[in-house]
Amino acid sequence: MKGFTLIEWVVVAAIIAILVLISVPRFMELGDLQDRAVIGANTQLVREALARRVEQTGIGFPEAITADMFPAGRVPERTVGRYRWSYDPATGTVSHNIPE
């Protein structure tokens, strides 16, 4: 008879399972790294837009971040995955919750 034995199939299945166990966490980590990069970039865009607005108007910090502050005409996403940026109008601080 030709074909694979049960032991050979079990070995192949074990190898595939090990490869999946190694690769899945890495793919999850890549998604998290992407989310961090997007929130970091969005935070920087908001900081730059805020600085331009304060420089142009010559008055204090605005009460809210609005779409007219951005060349694209929209506010960057506040939340991506488990990360988000926030704005404090009292201090003009734009921060994010990405751990250092």
Residue 48 lies inside a defined structural domain of this protein: yes
Cα distances (Å, whole numbers) of residue 15 to 8, 20, 23, 79 = 11, 9, 12, 38
Residue 11 lies inside a defined structural domain of this protein: yes
**Into how many domains does the chain fold?**
1
Nearest one of 62, 67, 68, 71 to 89, comparing CA atoms = 62
- Res. 100 pLDDT band, cuts 50 70 90: confident
Cβ count within 10 A of residue 53: 18
Q: Do 13 and 5 touch, CB atoms closer than 8 A?
A: no
Residue 51 lies inside a defined structural domain of this protein: yes
What pLDDT shows up at residue 1?
65
For 37-62, how does the pLDDT look when each residue is reduced to its tens digit (9 = 90+)? 999 999 999 999 999 999 999 888 99
Residue 34 lies inside a defined structural domain of this protein: yes
Q: What is the DSSP letter of 69?
A: G
Residue 67 lies inside a defined structural domain of this protein: yes
What pLDDT shows up at residue 66?
95
Residue 1 lies inside a defined structural domain of this protein: no
Q: Do 76 and 14 touch, CB atoms closer than 8 A?
A: no
Residue 18 lies inside a defined structural domain of this protein: yes
For 1-27, how does the pLDDT look when each residue is reduced to its tens digit (9 = 90+)? 678 899 999 999 999 999 999 998 888
Residue at 86: amino acid letter: S
Q: What is the pTM of this model?
A: 0.73
Residue 30 lies inside a defined structural domain of this protein: yes
Written as six digits, the tokens of 46 are 């908001």
What pLDDT shows up at residue 94?
96
